[in-house]
Amino acid sequence: MGRAFSSQTAALSTNTSPETPQLRKYRTLWEASSEHQLDEAQKVAAQADYLERLKAENNQRGVFKPLQAASDDIPSLTKIKNKINQVVERELVQ
């Protein structure tokens, strides 16, 4: 992955601890770009996690699709499929 260019020229450092010399008040473009890339990577990871959870919930619900009665099913088979659908729907709601 290539380095993304930043539109910032320089920014003030927020680090004002006594151990840090006051000579360095600005960060380089490379530092600003690296921080920007880390922020973007965290956003992408959070979005990917959210989408993965949505996908898992959708797949779990999709596994239990209602059984469809075919036109050539005998009446007892249609009754069994309807009963299975009722039980599955009741369990998914709970």
pLDDT in tens, the chain (94 residues): 566 665 555 555 555 555 555 556 788 888 889 999 999 999 999 999 998 888 887 777 666 778 888 888 899 999 999 999 898 888 777 6
Q: Provide the domain count of the chain.
A: 2
Q: Which domain holds residue 81?
A: 67-94
Q: Are residues 55 and 82 in the same domain?
A: no
| pTM reported for the whole predicted model | 0.37
Q: Which residues contact 16 (CB under 8 A, 6 or more apart)?
A: 22
Q: Are residues 43 and 82 in the same domain?
A: no
Q: Are residues 1 and 43 in the same domain?
A: yes
Q: Are residues 3 and 45 in the same domain?
A: yes
CA distance 81 to 18: 74
Q: Are residues 56 and 20 in the same domain?
A: yes
Q: Are residues 33 and 79 in the same domain?
A: no
Q: Which residues contact 77 (CB under 8 A, 6 or more apart)?
A: 69
The residue type at 4:
A
Q: Return the residue matching tokens 């600003």.
A: 32
Q: Are residues 94 and 75 in the same domain?
A: yes
